[in-house]
Every structure is written in structure tokens, then in C-alpha cells.
Chain A
Amino acid sequence: MTRGLRSAGLRARTWVAAALRGVAASPLPSLLTALTVAVTLALGGAFFLLLANLEGVLERVGRELGVSAYLAPELTPEEVAELAARARALPGVAAVEHVTREEAAVRFAAGAPERAGWLEALGESPLPASLELTLAPGERTGEATRAVAEALRALPGVEDVAADDDWVDGYARTLALLRGVGAVLGAVLAGATVLLVGSTIRLAVYARRDEIEILSLVGASRSFIALPFLIEGALLGAAGGAAALAGLSAGFRAVEAGFGAGLAFLLGTSPPVFLSPGESLLLVATGAGLGLVGAAGSLLGGMRAGGAQA
């Protein structure tokens, strides 16, 4: 270890010790701040979890929405293959599946037991062969769906086109709404966390104004004085984040155990997902970051009042 690194390490130890002393000096306000930050971050985390699970459902729904091109019965397999290739080349199309008349009949019959009888009564299946197009995730908008449908209608051999553009619009709107609510909620909760930690640090600066004055008198730089407060803010935020993570984990397990059947109905075949290790770490880091920002904001005004300029 170089001398510079050792010196930096010693200073960091001094600052962290000062920050911990600050937390210990006002245990109740620190605890209340960490708990309130925990509740705030847990609310945000819970919404994020809900969004992540619902987005999974919506993604599956989105995959099933698309455009169907019903083909003329006289098309040869080669012509169908060429049509499929031309459809696949259309902008925004992710996949094309050829559904033969037989497959269409099987699908129709699978929908309800009595349908098989209807097809038998008709003798020959009236259902046409089709090309089923799935749109790329970024192209699942009503406008893109309608554009693909128009392009398909212009292709020779395509007799009719059915597009789920209304559904696709609904899907896109739902996703946008959820993300928008998430963004607003996230911003509000982040702002609340910043204000909360900022208020606590402002009180800490006021409570330790004598110490700040003395440090300033003996030649402490502004950064030397400010760093323990910044670390204190980050620690409170991180503690809140960790508590939020613990609360979310407990809540998730309780919901999973108590409402498993309801979740299975809501989410289909996918099991409910919790935050990944990376996302969990991000939650704690977000708490620390917001605490740091709150502390930094309050220090701008608070240290002057506390006498750092003495």
C-alpha cells in the first residue's frame, strides 16, 4: 500500500467514525429516518415488483397479438413460402408462422368440444390457411400493426387480413400507463427520501454546529467537515434500503404463501418473480444515493448556519 493510499484510508476511517458517532449521537432521529426511508423505498420496490411481474404477463399477451393474413385456397406451397418470406421482410415483423387449413381446423376444434361436430357436419373445413405474424416488441403499436396489415393486403394471394390493432393499442397504453405511474411514483418517493434525509442531516448540522465551528477554527477544510455528514446521509439511506429489501422479501414470501392460487391465475404459467441480486443491491444503493443527495442538499445551506465559515 502506498503512503498516499494509507493516508486516504486513515482519513476515510476518521470520516466514517465521525459519521457513526453522528448516528449514535442522535439514535432516535436516525432510526426514525432509516425506517421512514425503508417504508418509502419499500413502497417503490413493491410497485417495481408488481410492474416487473405484470410486464411479464403483458409481454406474453403482446407476443400473442399480431396480424393474420388469410390465404387464397389455390396457392401452391411454393407461393405460400414466397408470401411468408415477403411478410417476414416487412418492417416490424419479428416472426411469421404458416397455419395450414388442417391446423386451423384443429385449433378451432380445440376451442370447444362441440366445434369438432360442426366441422364434421360441414364435411370440408371452411377455415382458410393463414400466415400469422408476430410483431417485434418495440413495434407493438396500433399504428405499426395497421401498417403491416395494409402491406399484407397488397400482397397477391392474400384474401383477407385481421389485425389486433385495438388490442395492441390497449397493450401499449397499459404498458405506458404502468411505466408512467412507476416513473411518477418513483420520482415522488425519491423526492420524499431526499427531503427526509436532508432534514435529518440539517438537524444534525445544527446540533453539531459547535463541532463544525471548532473544526473550522483548527483548519479543517469544507470537505473534511462535510464528508462525515454525507457519509451519515448515505448510511441512513442504505440502512433504509436494506430494511426495505428485508420487508419486501418477507412480504413477497407471505403473499406467495397466502395467495399462491390467485397469483397463478393472474400470472398464468410464470411463477412470480422477486428482485434479482443485482436489483436488490440496486435498491440498497438507491437508498444510499438518495441519502447522499439529501445530505449534500442540506449541507449547502446548513453548514453556513452551523458556522463552517467562522
Chain B
Amino acid sequence: MRRDATELAGGDAHVRLYHVSKSYLAGQLALRDVTLEIAKSEFVFLTGPSGAGKTTLLRLLFAAERPSEGQALVLGRNVGRLPESAIPALRRRIGVVFQDFKLLPRRTVEENVRIALDVVGVPPREARARAFAMLKQVGLQHRRHQRPLALSGGEQQRVAIARALVNEPDLLLADEPTGNLDPDLTLEILELISGAAARGTTVVVATHDQSILQRYRRRTLRLEAGVLSEVHPGPGPRP
């Protein structure tokens, strides 16, 4: 899927990549000449086999990596030229969900969610109220004083999603968010993520789970050996 850069410059996109390549070692490209546009409020699946470059692409989108070549515009900021000091401000507009949840085991569920509010200076009382509301949204308000390890895998992922969404981000990135979950919990998590997209958040979900792609008719981007191609969604229910 190659488009002209000037064509990509128009529209209301939250993510624009122009001929982006990423290499970690000389001659070994994790991403090869990737050009892509994701519109505001769009829900996009990113698929491909392990090691295809999905995580690298997501890491580029939250500025944990910089492109070796090309331009990556995320929420209007050029990741390649973003000064180190400007990265936190960009990340406050991005929610990230990981397969391994990345929760703090010694903090309560509520504290894990509040971390995202603390860093932007939300007053404690308001932070508590917002964290409670967010946990209620993911159905975990009754477990807010427990530690993550006392929760099931699905519940832990819901906490991670609550943390990612509590700041009402413009962009939600999920890297194999259902990788450790059984099919019922997978649907539960994807419903939560779809809900965020319905409320206007741009969503990118990386997954290699074909059953998810078949169930949800969404725009799907496929990465293979760092090369991006677009897969047209087949017939099926839309979330």
C-alpha cells in the first residue's frame, strides 16, 4: 500500500508514516519503507507473524523508537525530530496496552490507574474520582483496593486498559492485548477497546489472532518481514 506523500498530507489523520524504515543492525530492517495513514477515530488492526515488526511499529508510534529513515507523524508531531523533552507530552495523549499488562504489583488497582493521572498533575481527589469512574467502566470498581496479582489475567488487562484510557487519549495502542487470555476474555477486552474507538479515540491493535480479525470487520494492516500491506476486511460482524 503505497500512497503519495502529498496525498497523505491532507485529511484528518492521527498517524501518518512516510516511507519509514527502521533498522537495529546494519542491513537488518525491522520496518521497510512503510507508508501509512490512520484517520482520527479509526480502529485499525495490525497483524503479521511474530517478529514481523508489529511491536517496532507500535513503539515508533509512542516515540520509544525513532525511524531510521522517513517521517513518522503522530498526533501532528514528527517523532523523528521530537526533542527528548517533548516525548512525555506526546505520550500523555497516547494510551498503551501490552500483552503482559505492565501493572505495578505493589500498588493497588486504583493506584495503577491513578499513575496516569498523577503524571499530568490531576489533584488527588479528582484523580480518585476519575479512576473510580474508569474502573467502573471496565467493571472493576469493587476490586480497586486489591493488588493486581489478586486479579485474573482478564481483570489485569482491564486494569491496564483503564489506565490507558483514564486520560481520554487521542490514540490507543494495544500490543497483543489478548495474547494471554481465553476466547471469552478476548471478546470482553476487545469490546472495551472498541468502546474507546466509538467515543472518538483512534485505536491500533496489534494481533496475530486470526479469529479476532475474522470476527471484527475492521481495516487490517499486515506486516511481514517489515513490509506493510493492507488486507481488505472480509464479511463478518462489526464491533
Contacts and interface: CB of A to CB of B under 8 A. Distances in A.
A224 B104 contact: no
A218 B89 contact: no
Contacts of A6: 123
Interface in A183-231: 210-211, 213-222, 224
Interface residues of A, number: 21
Interface stretch (A7-15, A102-110, A111-119, A238-246): A7-15
Given A221-B85, A221-B88, A214 B102 contact: yes
B96 interface: yes
Contacts of B102: 210, 213-214, 217
B234 interface: no
A296 to B, nearest CB: 18
Contacts of B85: 221-222
A25 interface: yes
A310 interface: yes
B86 to A, nearest CB: 10
Nearest to A307: B64
Per DSSP, chain A at the interface is helix
Nearest to B96: A217
Given A214-B115, A217-B96, A218-B91, A10 B163 contact: no
B104 A14 contact: no
Contact of A218 (B84, B106, B116, B124): B116
B91 A219 contact: yes
A229 B138 CA distance: 33
Given A214-B115, A310-B64, A219 B106 contact: no
Nearest to B164: A218
A219 B118 contact: no
A215 B115 contact: yes
A101 B124 CA distance: 85
Interface in A1-21: 6-7, 10-11, 13-14
A217 B62 contact: yes
Most buried by B among A13, A218, A219, A222: A218
A210 B98 CA distance: 13
Nearest to A213: B102
Given A211-B104, A224-B119, A219 B64 contact: no
A218 B92 contact: yes
Given A210-B102, A213-B102, A218 B163 contact: yes
Interface in B94-137: 94, 96, 102-104, 106, 115-116, 118-121, 123-124
Contacts of A216: 88, 91
B106 A25 contact: yes
Most buried by A among B88, B94, B102, B123: B88
B124 A10 contact: yes
A98 to B, nearest CB: 73
Nearest to B111: A21
Contacts of B64: 310
A219 B104 contact: no
Interface string B28-62: 00000000000000000000000000000000001
Nearest to B95: A218
A220 B115 CA distance: 9
25 contacts: A6-B123, A7-B121, A7-B123, A10-B123, A11-B121, A13-B124, A210-B102, A210-B104, A211-B104, A214-B102, A214-B103, A214-B104, A214-B115, A215-B119, A216-B88, A217-B62, A218-B115, A218-B116, A219-B92, A219-B94, A219-B120, A220-B88, A221-B85, A221-B88, A224-B119
Given A217-B96, A219-B89, A310-B64, 16 more contacts: A10-B121, A211-B104, A213-B102, A214-B102, A214-B104, A215-B115, A216-B88, A217-B62, A217-B102, A218-B91, A218-B92, A218-B115, A219-B92, A219-B116, A222-B84, A224-B119
Interface of B: 62, 64, 84-85, 88-94, 96, 102-104, 106, 115-116, 118-121, 123-124, 163, 167
* Leading 5 A-B pairs by shortest Cβ distance: A219-B92, A219-B91, A220-B119, A218-B116, A221-B88
